Amino acid sequence: MKGRVGFLFVLPAILVLLALIAYPIVYTVYLSAVDAHGNFTGKNYVNVLAPYVTRQAFFNLIYYVGGSIVFQVILGTLTAILLNLEFWGRSAVRSIALIPWVVPGIVAATTWAWMFHTEFGIINYMLAGAHVIPAPIGWLTNPATVMPTLIAINVWKLFPFVAIMVLAGLQAIPADLYEAAKVDGASFWAEVWHVTLPQVRPVLVAVTLLLVIWGLNGITLIYAITQGGPADLSLITPIQIYQLAFVSFQFNGAAALSVLFFIVAAIIVAVYIRVIPSNLGAAR
């Protein structure tokens, strides 16, 4: 009887989940397997994989997400270690460090787009004024600089999240470990390498997984700044799906690409969950 009552309480939540999550997934799979007339076909997958732009968008996505995560984790961890030290005004510095993370994505994207503008951007103005560059650089239009620039903006946006999570993990490290390291004559960076990093490794594993998931699904920064240009050099798969569906109105092709992207993303996440925690446990 108690089980039935409990089920009745959670039934509304289950129905909402089915309506908002299960049904869209099932319908997307169905849409990917039919043509515009509702006839089952496998051509949607072939047609969406055939263009070179699909492969380019996926490689851009891996480059963008991978490059962002590496620097987000490194910069966020170093920031957390510095914010964990005792110094005057530490609370204020911690609050200021969180600003990039709490700024809405579209606001950050628009601001950085103007800052990196070729003619009117403050970045070129400052670099040219300091005689670092002889002429303005098209940061967002040059094929050699567009993706590194977008990665830098993404790192700026999310490294505070890594910092605050790692900082929370640092608070749980026993002081005895640092005292023992000091007795052994360890320097500050030796303590960081042999005490701090091993203790916060589980936090880094979880944070990296979140960054992977967010990175694979995030389109706000790139779409607001370049919309995938120039010449699709900053196009990533989620933006390609959006453009297929809502710009070209190729809903069946967009659904097919969505299914393929979901499978690839699920494999990446599953491998990460399987391999990294196992290696972490073996290291311990």
Q: Is 46 domain-assigned? A: no
Q: Is 162 domain-assigned? A: yes
| Domain that includes residue 270, residue range | 52-283
Using DSSP's 3-state secondary structure scheme, residue 230 falls into: coil
Mean pLDDT for all residues in the chain: 90
Write the single-letter amino acid at 280: L
Which of 95, 70, 207, 208 has its CA nearest to residue 151? 70
What is the pLDDT, as a whole number, of residue 277?
A: 59
For tokens 């608070």, name the residue. Answer: 171
Q: Is 121 domain-assigned? A: yes
Q: Is 36 domain-assigned? A: no
Total domains in the fold of the chain: 1
Q: Is 111 domain-assigned? A: yes
For tokens 């050699």, name the residue. Answer: 144
Q: Summarize pLDDT for 163-219 with one digit per residue, the tens.
A: 999 999 998 888 888 888 888 888 888 888 888 999 999 999 999 999 999 999 889
Cα separation, 245 vs 89, in Å, equals 50
65: Cα within 13 Å, side-chain hemisphere: 24
Q: Is 228 domain-assigned? A: yes
Q: Is 179 domain-assigned? A: yes
Neighbour count for residue 65 (Cβ, 10 Å): 22
CATH number at 247 reads: 1.10.3720.10
Q: Is 30 domain-assigned? A: no
For tokens 């240009």, name the residue. Answer: 229
Query: For residue 38, what pLDDT band results from cuts at 50, 70 and 90?
Result: confident
Lowest mean pLDDT among 133-142, 177-186, 252-261: 177-186
